[in-house]
Amino acid sequence: MNDKTRNLFIAKIFISIKMRLFNLAIIIIILIIPSIHAWSWDSYEGKTTWDVKVTVDEKGCGGTVYSNSRSLTITHKKSAADLTDVGHGPVSGTFSGNILTIPARTIPDGSGKSDLGMATVMFTTDCTIFTTKYPWHYHDQYQDCSGTTSWDGKRTDSKECPAVTEEKTEQPEAKPTVSTEKQVLTVPQISYLPISEQKEEYTKYLQKDPGDFVANYELAQILKEEKEYKEFIKHIDKALENKNEATNLKQEREKEVTQRLQLTIRPNGVTVPLLRSVEDELDTVPNPMIYDFNVLKEPDKRTWRQKMTEYLSKPFKDVVRN
């Protein structure tokens, strides 16, 4: 093998080795890149703290370049973020991957105002460093100039990316379990049903809650209309076991009957103004009638008062049942 052939052979081996190394590098990159980018700030919710070196260039305004250190807290809300003040006031921005964009804004600054340019904050993939630089323009009645501000942040609460919440494996949608037991409607639901269906539904409901006042009372009214008086009395008595509800209902019904008879108060013997008025006018009104009651049929005043009171009070007897 001459020198030329030997050199060509060595070159082929070298090229082959280079291609293998290149392919190996590609494979390593393919394997590493997904693990680096599997996590990003726009997937995180929580808080992080940072030590920020703030560098301000005021040479364009007749000043100098100076730096100071500020503490920063970032409240992460996935793609949104709120930052505490590091020199130009608190601010909010938007994450896209590991890049935080803070929109341009105008802020009061001394005796004038500063127009701050948009800031693009670049975060490293190990979640420990960020950097940005943005322009600003200051103006007041005496001065009109420009400069820049840069941030260099270093994470202080951790040296690692926040824990990644494991993605939930999508589960097949659970099919609703079909119950063989018929659904029991609530009392308000039953009240919206046609009258023809309410009886059955109130009966089912009372199997679940036998002492319910409204269910017993409403079922009793239906039974009364159907002339099932035995069942009517059973359920109205059950409702009346609830003393507070029964008292309130009795008062409401007495008020209704009083208004229907065009009286101001419930009749109670001779204390009723209407009764005294009728008694005073017995001698002046021929054949006086109140509805279908002839007030002259009883010449004895005591008997007359009793019958008159009984007649006027009749609508109030057992007012809840009626």
User: What are the boundaries of each domain within the chain?
Assistant: 42-155, 183-241, 264-322
Residues of the chain above pLDDT 90, percent? 27
**Type and span of the H or E element at 257:** helix 243-260
Is the domain defined by 42-155 classed in CATH 2.60.40?
Answer: no
User: Strand runs (DSSP E) across 29-141, as ranges?
Assistant: 45-57, 65-77, 80-83, 91-96, 99-102, 105-109, 112-116, 119-123, 129-139
Nearest to 58 by CA among 170, 155, 135, 169: 135
Q: How far apart are CA 113 and CA 62, in angstroms?
A: 17
Q: What is the pLDDT of residue 195?
A: 82
- pLDDT recorded at residue 196: 81
Q: How far apart are CA 216 and CA 119, in angstroms?
A: 71
Fold category of 183-241 in CATH: 1.25.40
Output the pLDDT for position 151.
93
**What's the CA gap between 252 and 257, in Å, rounded?**
9
Report angle CA 222, 223, 228 to the nearest 5 degrees: 160
The rounded distance, in Å, linking the Cα atoms of 74 and 84 is 7
Nearest to 146 by CA among 170, 115, 124, 101: 115
Write down the pTM of the prediction. 0.42
Neighbours of 53 (CB within 10 A): 15
Taking phi first (over 0 means left), then psi (-120 to 50 degrees means alpha), and beta for anything else, what does residue 271 get?
Answer: alpha
Q: Tokens 């990159």, residue?
A: 29
Q: Residue 152 has what pLDDT? A: 94
Would you tell me how many other CB atoms lie within 10 Å of the CB of residue 183? 7
How far from the centroid of its chain's Cα atoms is residue 290's Cα?
61
Residues in the chain with pLDDT values less than 70:
1-38, 164-182, 243-247, 249-251, 253-254, 256-322
φ, ψ for residue 156 (rounded to 5)?
-115, -20
- Return the pLDDT at 319: 46
